[in-house]
Amino acid sequence: MAFEHLRHKPPRTLARPRGLLVVCAPLRSNVNLSRIVRAASCCGLDRIVCTGQAKLDRKIARDGADAIAVEVHRTLSPVLQRLREEGYRLVGLEQTTESQSLHAYEFRRRTALVIGNERTGLTPDLLRLLDDVVEIPVWGLPYSYNVATAAAMALYEYCRQFPDG
């Protein structure tokens, strides 16, 4: 078959807005945050919730920095409680004692995917608020994915389950 490279193919359209929202604990690295913003924007999300010094690197986030609304909050607990009241299922992305494999996890359409800090992960006070925690199987060293890599995989899995929004 003759494959011809196409740069920036026309995107897919969503039948309705994405039900997925990404919520980030304070991250160490604005590079990681910016990578998550680009991936989330490519996946058609229209907003992302961040905490801490959430400063985007526009060379990394690209047009995602403008296309997606970045909400910055000081602390996450009240945000998560409000999201629950708005009908979001609160799903952490973390290796924990009771995590479910992302391979088998069935997302609810209206989901807030909660992403932890690179080193400390999700703190106990946030874990306590979550409905589910998912983790991505690991087979080799260093036995944990980079936070933006893990977020990309989770975004991919959600979009696979809800290709039309």
Binding site for a copy of itself (CB under 8 A): 1-14, 18, 35, 38-39, 41-45, 60, 62-64, 66-68, 92, 94-99, 102-103, 116, 120-124, 127-128, 130, 133, 135-146, 148-149, 152-153, 156-157, 159-160, 163
Nearer to a copy of itself by C-beta: 46 or 71? Answer: 46
| Least spacing, CB of residue 91 vs a copy of itself, in Å | 11
Nearer to a copy of itself by C-beta: 85 or 98? Answer: 98
Nearer to a copy of itself by C-beta: 53 or 146? Answer: 146
Distance CA 2, CA 50 (A): 43
User: Order of strands across the sheet with 111-115?
Assistant: 69-73, 47-51, 20-24, 111-115, 89-93, 132-135, 100-101
Nearer to a copy of itself by C-beta: 58 or 73? Answer: 58
| Least spacing, CB of residue 2 vs a copy of itself, in Å | 7
SS (H, E, C) 106-158: CCCCCEEEEECECCCECCHHHHCCCCEEEECCCCCCCCCCCHHHHHHHHHHHH
